[in-house]
Structure 1
């Protein structure tokens, strides 16, 4: 068995896991090589399958991109709170630091998509979908905690979190990120007292 055969057998998905394995591979390719290199062949190579399988599952590159984005959001958005819907401000952003450590490809893929949309305006709808997913989840958490869910307030808070995530992803300083998120929770608690 050649080294290439070993590599394929090591990463080839098991029966019934093909679509998920392809989505994970698409996210890794987008994160590591950029969206311009996200092709059926590159995803198939990363997943250890024939490129026809990628076409079979997704039909178009845009459908693959959209499904990969949804997959990465499904992985990352739940980290907004360790106790979703509880209104517990201490739980808000509690999973962010761990998420960056455990899902770096998902986050890098999302940032690659955001940056690529500057060059390719047709991707803007995906970016809007990305930000909406995070901001809608954050708005629900803030509202459950008795805070305003005014869109501009939510946007401000998410922009702070997004910047911290980006910095941790690139600089890798989880202690600093955790401390900053703690201060953000304190500010939200103070904002809640002002609204009462």
Structure 2
């Protein structure tokens, strides 16, 4: 095996360890919030050592930033699979149905992701250095919703898309904290239908 091959293998192993630590941090955030993150907590959750967490991320802020980047990449990959449905919407009713299904699948049924997203947003509220990462999370999604609204005749598609995504986030936070039966059919979908219709009038 060449020296380059050895380095490649070592790098690959290091990346697997790093990813395992980030995934452990994600699980802790979903269960306990950002306040539950510490080097020792992540080491315990991942079955590794305190020193290994420090080696890969330094201070806890480095681990938090890496976890936010991981969440952003996971959401981007997920949305890339979802965008064709959004692009295919040819009526307000279809758009509302697609937005509702996506919120259910990605944030309500996948409760860990929904909770982690909200917890990390709160972390960015307290730490301005994290805000560019959060801002980047929803940029592609909001632009795609804006494009759908523009096709349907909205006069201010970008502004409307930003408000619609904020509406979804707010209602999902409510549902995660105070679960209601028939949330999708009785709460989320009607609210989205009203807001989408308003953007098209």
TM-score computed with the length of structure 2 as normaliser: 0.69
Q: Which residue is equivalent to 1:176?
A: 183
Q: Which residue is equivalent to 1:9?
A: none
CA apart distance, 1:87:
4.8
Corresponding position: 1:110 with 2:109: no
Check the 8 A contact 2:30/2:115 in 1, yes or no: yes
Q: How does 1:50-61 map to 2 (within 5 A)?
A: 50-61=49-60
Corresponding position: 1:142 with 2:142: no
Query: SS of the residue aligned with 1:137?
Result: helix
Task: Output the CA distance in 2 between the equivalents of 1:61 and 1:101.
Answer: 28
Task: Output the CA distance in 1 between the equivalents of 2:80 and 2:173.
Answer: 15
Q: Which residue is equivalent to 1:32?
A: 31
Q: Is the radius of gyration larger for structure 1 or structure 2?
A: 2
Corresponding position: 1:95 with 2:94: no
Q: How does 1:126-137 map to 2 (within 5 A)?
A: 126-137=130-141
Deviates more, 1:105-114 or 1:75-84: 75-84
Check the 8 A contact 2:123/2:130 in 1, yes or no: no
Check the 8 A contact 1:80/1:138 in 2, yes or no: no
Cα RMSD, aligned residues only: 3.0
The Cα offsets for residues 162-185 of structure 1, whole Å up to 9 and x where unpaired, read as 111112212233621344332244
CA apart distance, 1:188:
5.1
The Cα offsets for residues 70-121 of structure 1, whole Å up to 9 and x where unpaired, read as 2223334645983445152132242211223443233323323333455x4x
Task: Output the CA distance in 1 between the equivalents of 2:157 and 2:19.
Answer: 34
Task: Output the CA distance in 2 between the equivalents of 1:183 and 1:62.
Answer: 40
- Distance change >3 Å, CA 188–CA 124, structure 1 → 2: same
Task: Output the CA distance in 1 between the equivalents of 2:186 and 2:19.
Answer: 34
Which structure: greater helix fraction? 2
- Distance change >3 Å, CA 177–CA 127, structure 1 → 2: farther
Task: Output the CA distance in 2 between the equivalents of 1:176 and 1:191.
Answer: 21
CA apart distance, 1:193:
4.0
- Distance change >3 Å, CA 34–CA 189, structure 1 → 2: closer
Query: SS of the residue aligned with 1:54?
Result: helix
The Cα offsets for residues 119-138 of structure 1, whole Å up to 9 and x where unpaired, read as x4xx1332453244225412
